[in-house]
Amino acid sequence: MRIDVLTLFPEMFAGPLEYSIIKRAREAGVVAINLVNFRDWARDKHHTVDDSPFGGGPGMVLKPEPVFETVEAVRATQEVKGPLVYLSPKGERLTQALARELAALPCLTVLCGRYEGLDQRVVDHLVDREVSVGDYVLSGGEPAAIVLLDAVVRLLPGALGDDQSTEEESFSDGLLEYPQYTRPAEFRGWKVPEVLLSGNHEVIRRWRSEMSVEETRKKRPDLLIGPKAEATHE
Ligand code: ADE
């Protein structure tokens, strides 16, 4: 998969892209992540990317020209076309289902906003999907883009080690994951549930499935409501 990230702060991605699963996925050629600073595409000598809003008001708004020109230049280098995702608190919520949808694409372009926002003509005529990582406001799209990249890249075939799977984790079946334990079997008097020491895989599978529903009922009952949840878990 190829992911182009358009940002005014490519340096913010250095840490997150250079560790753990994303690092390995990049090294293994599972994903190529290309950071593009759209300030480089601002034509004036000060490389201006923002201006005050028409109609007045506080803050600055990202100008359309550098964003359009960067996206057009990046698209010209993409062999396969993919959607342009703009990170914004106004977008549809990032869910595991959306992460899976994006991970199935061969190519993705991610646009990070800053300041008070982006000229609406970019959203109306260039952006394919506006995506939010939650109902709170970040100081820019970069931390949200890092969340999105992580959620997508770890789902790519070959990104996780052989012994790791995304099939049994939270949200994969619309439920939260069952509790996990490791050695010691007793720690400070707290014992691991007996069933996990039984060696009986069918009994363990059933216990995990029950715990998964129980965790969800306790912590995220909203996930159990709705047509999909009813069909799967009734
Ligand atoms: N940019 C600022 N806040 C954001 C959010 N909650 N999600 C995505 N992008 C953002």
- CATH number for the domain harbouring residue 205: 1.10.1270.20
pLDDT (mean) for 75-84: 95
Distance CA(142)–CA(148), nearest Å, equals 10
Can you name the residues that pair with 118 across neighbouring β-strands? 62
Same domain for 225 and 141: no
Distance 8 CA to ligand 1 centre (A): 15
Q: Does residue 177 form part of some domain? A: yes
Q: Does residue 164 form part of some domain? A: no
Same domain for 149 and 176: no
Q: Which residue from 85, 86, 87, 150 has its CB within 8 A of the most atoms of ligand 1, so it is best to mutate?
A: 87
| Spatial contact of 68 and 122, defined as CB atoms under 8 Å apart | yes
* Residue 136 alpha carbon, nearest atom of ligand 1: 6
Show the DSSP H helices in 127-185 as ranges. Answer: 142-153
Distance 102 CA to ligand 1 centre (A): 18
Distance 103 CA to ligand 1 centre (A): 20
Same domain for 93 and 58: yes
Distance CA(147)–CA(16), nearest Å, equals 9
Instruction: Check residue 138 and report its DSSP letter.
Output: -
**Closest C-alpha among 35, 32, 6, 5 to residue 159:** 32
Distance 92 CA to ligand 1 centre (A): 11
- Give the pLDDT band of residue 43 (cuts 50, 70, 90): confident
Ligand 1, atom 4: closest residue by C-alpha: 89
pLDDT for the residue 169: 84
Structure confidence by residue, pLDDT tens digits, 142-176: 999 999 999 999 999 999 976 667 877 888 789 99
Ligand 1, atom 10: closest residue by C-alpha: 88
Range of the domain at 16: 2-153
Same domain for 178 and 147: no
Same domain for 138 and 40: yes
Structure confidence by residue, pLDDT tens digits, 193-209: 999 999 999 999 999 99
* Residue 131 alpha carbon, nearest atom of ligand 1: 8
Q: Within 10 Å of residue 35's Cβ, how many Cβ atoms?
A: 17
Residue type (1 letter), 234: E
The residues, ordered by sequence, that sit 6+ positions from 155 with a Cβ below 8 Å of its Cβ are 99, 100, 103, 166
What are the tokens at 104?
């199935």
Q: Does residue 32 form part of some domain? A: yes
**Closest C-alpha among 74, 76, 56 to residue 66:** 74
**Does any ligand 1 atom lie closer than 6 A to the CB of residue 88?**
yes
Structure confidence by residue, pLDDT tens digits, 99-142: 999 999 999 999 999 877 899 999 999 999 999 999 999 999 99
Q: Does residue 105 form part of some domain? A: yes
**Does any ligand 1 atom lie closer than 6 A to the CB of residue 138?**
yes
**Does any ligand 1 atom lie closer than 6 A to the CB of residue 92?**
no
More confident residue, 233 or 40: 40
Can you name the residues that pair with 110 across neighbouring β-strands? 5, 85
pLDDT for the residue 166: 83
Distance 135 CA to ligand 1 centre (A): 8
Q: Which of 122, 153, 184 is the last residue of a domain?
A: 153
> Edge-to-edge, what's the strand order for the sheet holding 84-93?
32-37, 2-7, 107-112, 84-93, 129-132
**Closest C-alpha among 2, 72, 56, 9 to residue 32:** 2
Distance 91 CA to ligand 1 centre (A): 8
pLDDT for the residue 172: 79
Distance CA(78)–CA(110), nearest Å, equals 13
Ligand 1, atom 7: closest residue by C-alpha: 132
Q: Does residue 144 form part of some domain? A: yes
Q: Does residue 158 form part of some domain? A: no
Cα-based torsion angle of the residue sequence 67, 38, 3, 139 in order, rounded to the nearest 10 degrees: -90
In percent, the amount of the chain with pLDDT more than 70 equals 95
Same domain for 14 and 117: yes
Q: What is the count of structural domains for the chain?
A: 2
Which range among 27-41, 159-173, 218-232 has the greatest average pLDDT? 27-41
pLDDT at 188 over 90: yes
Same domain for 110 and 173: no
Lowest mean pLDDT among 32-46, 71-85, 158-172: 158-172
pLDDT at 226 over 70: no
Q: Does residue 159 form part of some domain? A: no
Distance CA(90)–CA(29), nearest Å, equals 33
Question: What's the count of helices (H) and strands (E) in the chain, helices before strands?
Answer: 8, 10
| Spatial contact of 216 and 223, defined as CB atoms under 8 Å apart | yes
